[in-house]
Homo-oligomer: A and B are copies of this chain.
């Protein structure tokens, strides 16, 4: 006689023979039910709530000892003590689940579970004897089966090599690391309760790393460094060229990124006081070019139409095959990439923001050297890549720098005196008594500010030219007659040189923002919308941006300021989620397949959109939410610009 068992709240349905053990049935159907004692009726963890008439009638001694009177009253039984006697519904409470919801709430998106790809299993094995001469690996696999882990199990070769030593060092007690419930990727003598993982976001310019405790869900260290590939070129196109044109170009870039990652991991491990061997998992997100170079795959085909990648699917590669200095039997998980230059980092942003499950139509912008944009909601999500270049990260700007001590991060310019006031990172050190830092250069958020403020002060015209006729002591021609604005005089700076914003800098900002804006417009047109509900600004740079300044220069289409949300390093956040919860890796695969990639540069009128967006804020689009600021610009009629462009078409 067969019975049907439904496990709630998941709704998973199975069938079993009469008098089957309920725990065994749950295991067979892969139900997430705790049973650390392996079903030997001693731990009391497999409590489930069920209809009493469909199971063995008697509550046994063990259940009386292990369940509280309250639990018994409410109809809880231990799955390991229960035989199925009829069709039934078994409710598995949160406390009986192996996977528990605990971590990574960032307020905006749904929390994710702590359910790493690797889990620790402590085994107490029988000692071998003449009557029990099972080999070491058989003994371990039998131990895992007894603990309820079924299915075919493999053992990493490097683990196998050291198995005899490990089991004997722990006197037949050991802890194994089980990857994806199918491979033993490490083993240590005795009981281990801690394990760590690293999430890495490889940007074209910056690499960010997070060291997480996989046993608790806490981030215990984070760090970042400059991608040393910058010495071979600032953007992805120049990196591809380097791979193609230089001798061993790919090999050099590949080694550079691996050395960076190893350095980053080592720094974090040192800071947290853990050993590299305790790091047992790694998730990585990157754009497609960084992905290929990281893996040592030629990015040649990525750089030429039709922009074909070697692979898009998620990859699990042994750390030792890559040469990454974590526990050698463990895997690096590369999240899936989407298409063209839109890589795993964009998938990670969508993952972190849960954007493909949301109702409101969102615009998600990940501003980096390679900018990714997404527009859509749970019904449809379009994405594209924009060649913004590294201007927003401070590169290709005369006095540009990364957001570090001495960087000018905020600028305002008085509309009358045309005098600037600036805020410098480390410029106020109230606690330390250390002398305030003096200006060394200007970082991304300062660059957006200075462009917006120069425009608002009437020093820069809507088409990006300096207004040479403006009465301002700080506006001056350089040796070649090109104008520049002095943001800080030599005596105020750490370098002893004037810090200036050049005409070329303004052009770089225009190019970067118009690439972004044109891409966004084309995606919105594809989706048939002319406004979005919210704008999410991601990327380390996005965190410090002054949203009003961004709208004044027309970085993205008009939107109420309160609907613009700064979400920080969302790609890194997505990598962290995939590190802590293996279920998020499945979700990432779903996202990668769901999102539609649009090759915006191939759209017929991309050039027109791009040219229109070169203007501050735009040749024709209106920005009602900052119109009052635009109206206040001295000597300029923004409406006039609009008319000119309209009449031209």
Contact yes or no, B137 A602, CB < 8 A: no
Q: Give A357-401 as 1s and 0s: 1 = Cβ < 8 Å from B's Cβ atoms.
A: 000000000000000000000000000000000000000000000
Q: Give A10-43 as 1s and 0s: 1 = Cβ < 8 Å from B's Cβ atoms.
A: 0000000000000000000000000000000000
Q: Does A430 contact B (CB under 8 A)?
A: no
Contact partners of A308 in chain B: CB under 8 A: 128, 133-136, 164
Q: Which one, B157, B158, B321, B339, contacts A133 given CB within 8 A?
A: B339
Contact partners of A134 in chain B: CB under 8 A: 308
Contact yes or no, B137 A313, CB < 8 A: yes
Q: Give A132-146 as 1s and 0s: 1 = Cβ < 8 Å from B's Cβ atoms.
A: 111111100000000
Contact yes or no, B168 A137, CB < 8 A: no
Contact yes or no, B157 A311, CB < 8 A: no
Contact partners of A320 in chain B: CB under 8 A: 321
Q: Which one, B130, B136, B298, contacts A165 given CB within 8 A?
A: B298
Contact yes or no, A160 B311, CB < 8 A: yes
Knowing A161-B297, A301-B168, say if A307 contacts B133 (CB, 8 Å).
yes
Q: Does A296 contact B (CB under 8 A)?
A: yes
Q: In this complex, which of A301, A310, A315 has the most chain B Cβ atoms within 10 angstroms of its Cβ?
A: A310
Query: How many residues of chain A have a CB within 8 Å of chain B?
Result: 45
Contact partners of A138 in chain B: CB under 8 A: 311-313
Contact yes or no, A136 B309, CB < 8 A: yes
Q: Does A635 contact B (CB under 8 A)?
A: no
Contact partners of A72 in chain B: CB under 8 A: none
Contact yes or no, A321 B163, CB < 8 A: no
**Chain B nearest CB, measured from A329 CB (Å):** 10
Contact yes or no, B306 A164, CB < 8 A: no
Q: Is the interface of A mostly helix, strand, loop or mixed?
A: mixed
Q: Does A469 contact B (CB under 8 A)?
A: no
**Chain B nearest CB, measured from A645 CB (Å):** 31
Q: Does A425 contact B (CB under 8 A)?
A: no
Q: Does A305 contact B (CB under 8 A)?
A: yes
Q: Which one, B306, B310, B322, B340, contacts A137 given CB within 8 A?
A: B310
**Chain B nearest CB, measured from A249 CB (Å):** 14
Interface residues of A in 315-339 (CB under 8 A from B): 315, 317-318, 320-322, 339
Q: Does A295 contact B (CB under 8 A)?
A: yes
Q: Does A155 contact B (CB under 8 A)?
A: yes
The CA-CA distance from A318 to B157 in the complex, in Å, is 9
**Chain B nearest CB, measured from A376 CB (Å):** 20
Q: Does A419 contact B (CB under 8 A)?
A: no
| Nearest chain B residue, comparing its CB with the CB of A128 | B308
Q: Give A568-599 as 1s and 0s: 1 = Cβ < 8 Å from B's Cβ atoms.
A: 00000000000000000000000000000001
| Nearest chain B residue, comparing its CB with the CB of A163 | B310
The CA-CA distance from A134 to B310 in the complex, in Å, is 9
Q: Does A74 contact B (CB under 8 A)?
A: no
Contact yes or no, A306 B133, CB < 8 A: yes
Contact partners of A158 in chain B: CB under 8 A: 321
The CA-CA distance from A306 to B318 in the complex, in Å, is 35
Contact partners of A133 in chain B: CB under 8 A: 306-308, 339-340
Contact yes or no, A297 B129, CB < 8 A: no
**Chain B nearest CB, measured from A259 CB (Å):** 18
The CA-CA distance from A315 to B161 in the complex, in Å, is 12
Contact yes or no, B313 A164, CB < 8 A: no
The CA-CA distance from A511 to B313 in the complex, in Å, is 62
Contact yes or no, A306 B128, CB < 8 A: yes
The CA-CA distance from A307 to B489 in the complex, in Å, is 81
| Nearest chain B residue, comparing its CB with the CB of A299 | B164
**Chain B nearest CB, measured from A296 CB (Å):** 5
Q: Does A124 contact B (CB under 8 A)?
A: no
| Nearest chain B residue, comparing its CB with the CB of A134 | B308
Knowing A130-B305, A295-B160, A306-B130, say if A311 contacts B599 (CB, 8 Å).
no
Contact partners of A165 in chain B: CB under 8 A: 298
Interface residues of A in 106-130 (CB under 8 A from B): 128-130
Contact partners of A312 in chain B: CB under 8 A: 135, 137-138
Contact partners of A307 in chain B: CB under 8 A: 133
| Nearest chain B residue, comparing its CB with the CB of A140 | B311
Knowing A129-B306, A157-B317, say if A297 contacts B137 (CB, 8 Å).
no
| Nearest chain B residue, comparing its CB with the CB of A317 | B157
The CA-CA distance from A301 to B137 in the complex, in Å, is 13
Q: Does A183 contact B (CB under 8 A)?
A: no
The CA-CA distance from A238 to B132 in the complex, in Å, is 26
The CA-CA distance from A199 to B537 in the complex, in Å, is 60
Interface residues of A in 276-298 (CB under 8 A from B): 295-298
Q: Which one, B130, B295, B309, contacts A602 given CB within 8 A?
A: B130
| Nearest chain B residue, comparing its CB with the CB of A133 | B306
Q: Does A467 contact B (CB under 8 A)?
A: no
Q: Does A300 contact B (CB under 8 A)?
A: yes
Q: In this complex, which of A138, A311, A339 has the most chain B Cβ atoms within 10 angstroms of its Cβ?
A: A311
The CA-CA distance from A138 to B321 in the complex, in Å, is 22
Q: List 5 A-B contacts (CB under 8 A).
A: A133-B306, A158-B321, A161-B297, A163-B311, A165-B298
Q: A135-B308, A135-B311, A160-B310 are in contact. List 19 more A-B contacts (CB 8 A).
A: A128-B308, A129-B306, A130-B306, A130-B599, A132-B306, A133-B307, A135-B309, A136-B308, A136-B310, A137-B310, A137-B313, A138-B313, A157-B295, A157-B315, A157-B318, A160-B315, A162-B297, A168-B301, A320-B321
